[in-house]
Structure 1
Amino acid sequence: MSDLPFAATTPISVARVGLKTRDADALAAYYRAVVGLEELARDGETITLGAANRPLLVLERDAAAKPDDPRSAGLFHTAFLLPSRADLGRWINHAIENKIQVEGASDHLVSEAAYLTDPEGNGIEIYADRPHESWKWDGPSVEMATLRMDIPGVVGSVPAGDAGWKGAPDNTVVGHVHLRVGDPNQAEAWWNKEFGFDTVKKYGTQAVFLSSGGYHHHIGANTWQSAGAGKRDASRSGLAWVEMRSAEAKTPSAYEDPWGTVIRAVPGQPG
């Protein structure tokens, strides 16, 4: 049993992500086979997936939905955080053995991450954090970068004779969600005000990273594809909502960010 990742021990953390999908069965099959999630429940047109009975992803079927527009506000990626570097190594071996298309593999100093896209265009990050005690801070700003991942090193962290990838391990969580927005400054102000998040990193005028409790980021917001985007088109597939677990919330509540993205808050203690 691995320890719960630091990302989930902060006062506010990501609980679940909801996706509107044109074909929930096909998308659920993808997340089971590729990400290693297990199906936890079905309720009408909704499928809930997770790891070790922890719900992480909810697929809501809408066969009439138009495809997501990557230039609009919405989801950049859902980031599934594995408990250890060896777990990421196991997943990389799984991706190689099953010829899973991976679009990138990066070392961000605070973490190591692989990137891919699901069949309906939703971005996915699968990553492992370095120990948070090793992260470097300059005042309120955490040091992050995008370097080439040391794939042999990550794979080499898997013990000899290991049983390999057996699906998303216990204590896998959604570590962060990265959003497409029209204006990172507006996103920053919204998350600062509504959730009390700290701004921990900016990449010029194009991206901002925010968090609770000293994590490197629970929310990212960028305009790499979506500069100037207005309100989201509710008839499109893609991100339906993001649910945050908050030790400060007394009752469940729902918000909309400046682009109409639904952000829920549910009461819950860290962990």
Structure 2
Amino acid sequence: MSLTPIREPAEPAPPAARVGHVHLRVSDLERSIAFYCDVLGFSVTQRYGAGAAFLGAGGYHHHIGLNTWESLGGPAPAPGTTGLYHSAFLYPDRKSLGEVLARVIAAGIPLDGAADHGVSEAIYLRDPDGNGVELYRDRTSDEWPLDPDGHLKMINAPLDLQALLSEASAET
């Protein structure tokens, strides 16, 4: 499938360009490591002294950087200010997304929301420092909703969390 862009850049990024990682300032390194490891399932790949850690999945060097260099004991980001809206973590399929949702619920972490965007299914929550986190799985591009002119037409429909949890617990 090929989308019709709404706006073309003057100098396009290479087609293989991707967001490589997110690096967050946190107030408590160990608390953040516990969230990103024990709840979301990432592994610590390296510690950098007492003030930073790098976490990855699938043998990658790091998808997440955490540090307290300028934020040790600091407050959560203030609402209504600029900054990172959320970091998004892509899970490979519905079963994996359902499994991480089950861990989030078991950890007692409240959800900010959940949505079917047509191109993806997404769950929204906050990390221990109040940073927005999206956990999602993509649909294949041939399933994406398009308008009559071929432009992407994402939606914001409710996501059936119980069905997602049921799929996670189903035997494969």
Report the TM range for the smaller structure's normalisation.
Answer: 0.7 to 0.9
Superposition pairs for residues 1-271 of structure 1, below 5 Å? 10-44=15-49, 45-54=51-60, 55-61=62-68, 62=70, 63=72, 65=74, 67-138=76-147, 139=149, 141-158=151-168, 160-161=170-171
Paired AA for residue 52 in structure 2: T
Identity percentage over the alignment? Answer: 33
Q: Which TM-score applies when normalising by structure 1?
A: 0.52
How far did residue 50 of structure 1 move? 1.4
Q: 1:160, 1:85 → 2: CA distance? A: 11
Q: 1:90, 1:67 → 2: CA distance? A: 27
How far did residue 68 of structure 1 move? 2.1
Cα distance 1:130–1:46, how it changes in 2: closer, same or farther (>3 A)?
A: same
2:6 aligned partner: none
SS class of match (2:104): helix
How far did residue 52 of structure 1 move? 1.9
How far did residue 97 of structure 1 move? 3.4
User: Are the aligned partners of 2:21 and 2:65 in contact in 1 as well (CA < 8 Å)?
Assistant: yes
Paired AA for residue 23 in structure 1: D
Aligned pairs, number: 154
Cα distance 1:29–1:142, how it changes in 2: closer, same or farther (>3 A)?
A: same
User: Are the aligned partners of 1:105 and 1:113 in contact in 2 as well (CA < 8 Å)?
Assistant: yes
Q: Which TM-score applies when normalising by structure 2?
A: 0.79
User: Are the aligned partners of 2:117 and 2:154 in contact in 1 as well (CA < 8 Å)?
Assistant: yes
SS class of match (2:98): helix
1:178 aligned partner: none
How far did residue 11 of structure 1 move? 2.1
Cα distance 1:94–1:60, how it changes in 2: closer, same or farther (>3 A)?
A: closer
Structure 1 stretch displaced more, 60-69 or 11-20? 60-69
SS class of match (2:22): strand
How far did residue 106 of structure 1 move? 1.0
Q: 1:59, 1:16 → 2: CA distance? A: 11
Superposed CA offset, 1:22-79 (max 9, x none): 2222111111122111111011222001112221110121326554223221111001
1:259 aligned partner: none
Q: 1:99, 1:66 → 2: CA distance? A: 21
Superposed CA offset, 1:107-140 (max 9, x none): 1111111111012110000011111111122346
Cα distance 1:70–1:141, how it changes in 2: closer, same or farther (>3 A)?
A: farther
User: Are the aligned partners of 1:34 and 1:100 in contact in 2 as well (CA < 8 Å)?
Assistant: no
CA RMSD for the aligned pairs?
A: 2.2
Q: Which structure ranks higher in relative contact order (CA pairs < 8 Å, sequence separation ≥ 6)?
A: 1
Structure 2 spans left out of the alignment, 5+ residues = 1-14
How far did residue 159 of structure 1 move? 6.5
How far did residue 100 of structure 1 move? 2.9
User: Are the aligned partners of 2:75 and 2:129 in contact in 1 as well (CA < 8 Å)?
Assistant: no
Q: 1:161, 1:60 → 2: CA distance? A: 39
